[in-house]
Amino acid sequence: MMASTIRGALRDNRALWAFGVLALTWLAAIIFAQGFNSVASVHYLVQTASFLGIVAVGQTLVVMMSGIDLSVSAVVALSAVVCAQVSAGSGGAVAILTALAVSVLVGLVNAAGLIWLRLPPMVMTLATGTVIAGALLIYTNGSPRSAQIPLLDSLANGSVAGIPLATILWLAIAAAAVWLLHLSRLGRYAFALGTSEPASRASGVPVPVTTFVMYAACALLAGVAGLVLLGFTGTSSLTMGNPYQLLSIASVVLGGTSILGGRGHLLGTVAGALLLTLLTALLVAWNLSEGLRQVSLGLLIIVLLLVYARERRTT
């Protein structure tokens, strides 16, 4: 009886699994690999994880309502490129605000396409992503600028009490997202939409408002990630967002959230992003070639999904 209760709790709480697997992997890394036992390595890991983590938090909001955002990689680049471009003429503050506003706009366009054109999220967001990528090419003539914006620089590279500012920002964002998704009315609507759209409509769930807020928030967070990255590297590029596209979705799913929506916890995504960053670092530490690294990461993701994040068969 006791055992089955525990098993049931574990099955229903895949976010907890994500933290467990993260802890085990970390432990294994400290024991079996070199260089994972120092404070500096932890510092570096949580700092790099926060770029992916911020994008993944946004992705969670959308996946939970049974959507998906494939424009995040383009928005990361968009926000960084726009910020770098604008800051040259009008200064840092204006540049940051412009970049964030443009990012939110992309989210609103995504939501509008889903609601009014009734396009499937995968198609709509992929299309906006493609449009943005092309538009950026035109806007920058193929050569985006570098920019030194002090605020972004300290945000990305600075620390408070030994904790990277980027990580603090990430955790603050995650806390706000936990409220939005798990404590607020809108979050309940997102969960309801994620489990059944017809039932949600027939229960009076405000589908448009929920969609607009969640997609705008997702795009905003991709924009924030782009800015932090700009501060981190000091330069913008057209492809800087690419790694975050699929890894953000992988973080969500490894965090125990159902890719079909309606089930999971946002904190799982935090563990998922840390786990993926840690795995990448491990593969680097083992001196695998870039190709082998990608192959192994892909296989590891599959294995982990099989261990605890498989979709339930519905009966």
Partner 1 sequence: MTLLNVERVSKSFAGVTVLREVSFDIQAGEVLALVGENGAGKSTVLSLITGLLTPDSGTIRYDGEPVRAWSPHRARAAGVASVHQELSLNPHQSVAENVFLGAWPSRYGLVRQGDLVARARPLLERVGLDVDPRTPAGRLPLGAQQLVELAKALTADPRLLILDEATSALDDDQVRAVFRVVDDLRERGRSVVIVSHRMGELLTVSDRLTVLKDGEVMATRRRDETDHDDLVRLMVGRELSDLFPAKAAPDSPQADPVLRAAGLSIPGACAGVDLELRPGRIIGLGGLQGQGQREVLRALFGLRHHSGQTEVDGRPRRLASPREAIRRGIAYVPEDRKTEGLHVVRSVRANLALPSLRVLAPARALTTVSRRRENELVEELIRRMQVKTASPAQEVRRLSGGNQQKVALAKWLPARPRVLLLAEPTRGIDVGTKREIYHLLRELADEGMAVLVTSGDTMELVGLCDEVLVMYEGAVVERLAGAELTEERLVHASVVGHSTAEETSRA
* Contact set with partner 1 (CB under 8 A): 1, 4, 179, 183-186, 188-189, 191-192, 195-196, 198-206, 262-263, 314
Provide, rounded to whole angstroms, the least separation between the CB of residue 188 and partner 1: 6
Provide, rounded to whole angstroms, the least separation between the CB of residue 314 and partner 1: 7
Please name every residue paired with 159 in a beta bridge, in sequence order, or none if there are none: 164
If you count them, how many residues does the chain have?
315
Provide, rounded to whole angstroms, the least separation between the CB of residue 311 and partner 1: 12
Looking from the CA of 288 toward its CB, the CA atoms found within 13 Å total 15
Q: Which is nearer to partner 1, 199 or 299 (CB)?
A: 199
Amino acid identity for residue 61 in this structure? L
Q: Which is nearer to partner 1, 35 or 185 (CB)?
A: 185
Distance (Å, whole) CA 51 – CA 48: 6
Provide, rounded to whole angstroms, the least separation between the CB of residue 264 and partner 1: 13
Q: Which is nearer to partner 1, 17 or 189 (CB)?
A: 189
Provide, rounded to whole angstroms, the least separation between the CB of residue 118 and partner 1: 15
Distance (Å, whole) CA 156 – CA 233: 9
CA-CA-CA-CA dihedral for 309, 171, 193, 251, to nearest 10: -30
Q: Which is nearer to partner 1, 263 or 293 (CB)?
A: 263
- In angstroms, how far is CA 135 from the centroid of its own chain? 23
**Greatest CA separation found in the chain?**
68
- In angstroms, how far is CA 54 from the centroid of its own chain? 5
Q: Which is nearer to partner 1, 105 or 115 (CB)?
A: 115
